[in-house]
């Protein structure tokens, strides 16, 4: 069925414990901040998710644990991991290490933005792309990185199969400077045919703010809710 995450608060959805733990982690790390931030689409967002703040070994290792737990929980089948340049590179490497620690040892690869004309050459580094490839990224703003990754993966004779991200913003994508009625995640799912899973969604963030706030529970919750009501998309649930 299809429900609106912005305007249908009853019945209250069950809490996702993993998502709530993750949100507490990213707030504590300063990765998730609240205030006024301009997005690439020109919107003024009441929150900002900055993956660049996963800037030491402990944070990156903990992040990889969340990725691995969500991935294994999702049931998505895959043969290897791919990290799109640049943010996806450390994410893919960290996830591969954590999966191996859990007994799931899979190869990983990543791409360069610039092609090398010496050494091994080309734009791909790591294991040869083959089988069902899982793409790892932080957020999905427009699906551009996913489309680029799909072209690279399929062009190498493998199959782009699924994407895992840290946060699903659940907001309308833009095309030609105008809002459309679907998110980047929904576009990748429906139009590109890839499975997508996220450690947490904006609907999880609303639940987090209801319980904890972020320095001002009522203010932050109201701002995020207003943003969601204006730019949010309907969430498809099976």
Please identify every residue annotated as catalytic. Answer: 116, 118
Q: How far apart are CA 33 and CA 170, in angstroms?
A: 17
Residue 65, CA distances (Å) to 73, 116, 146, 156 in order: 12, 33, 23, 29
32 strand-pairing partners: 49
Q: 3-state SS of 120-171?
A: CCEEEEECCCCCEEEEECCECCCCHHHHHHHHHHHHCCCEEEEEEEEEECCE
In angstroms, how far is CA 218 from the centroid of its own chain? 26
Longest dimension (CA), the chain: 60
């Amino acid at each position: 069925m299809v429900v609106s995450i912005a305007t249908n608060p009853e019945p209250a959805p069950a809490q996702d414990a993993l998502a709530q733990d993750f949100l507490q982690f990213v707030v504590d790390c300063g990765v998730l901040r609240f205030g006024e931030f301009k997005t690439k689409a020109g919107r003024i967002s009441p929150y900002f998710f900055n993956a660049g703040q996963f800037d030491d070994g402990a944070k990156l290792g903990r992040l990889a644990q969340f990725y691995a737990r969500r991935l294994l929980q999702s049931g998505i089948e895959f043969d290897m991991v791919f990290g799109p340049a640049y943010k996806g590179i450390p994410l893919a490497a960290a996830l591969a290490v954590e999966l191996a620690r859990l007994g799931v040892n899979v190869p990983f690869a990543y791409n360069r933005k610039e092609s090398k004309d010496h050494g091994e050459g080309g734009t791909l580094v790591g294991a040869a792309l083959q089988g069902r490839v899982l793409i790892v990224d932080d957020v999905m703003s427009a699906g551009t990185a996913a489309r680029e990754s799909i072209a690279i993966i399929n062009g190498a004779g493998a199959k782009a199969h699924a994407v895992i991200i840290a946060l699903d913003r659940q907001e309308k994508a833009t095309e030609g400077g105008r809002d459309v009625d679907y998110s980047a995640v929904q576009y990748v799912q429906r139009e590109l045919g890839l499975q997508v899973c996220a450690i947490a969604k904006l609907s999880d963030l609303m639940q987090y703010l209801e319980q904890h706030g972020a320095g001002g529970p009522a203010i932050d919750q109201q701002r995020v809710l207003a943003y969601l009501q204006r730019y949010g998309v309907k969430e498809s649930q099976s």
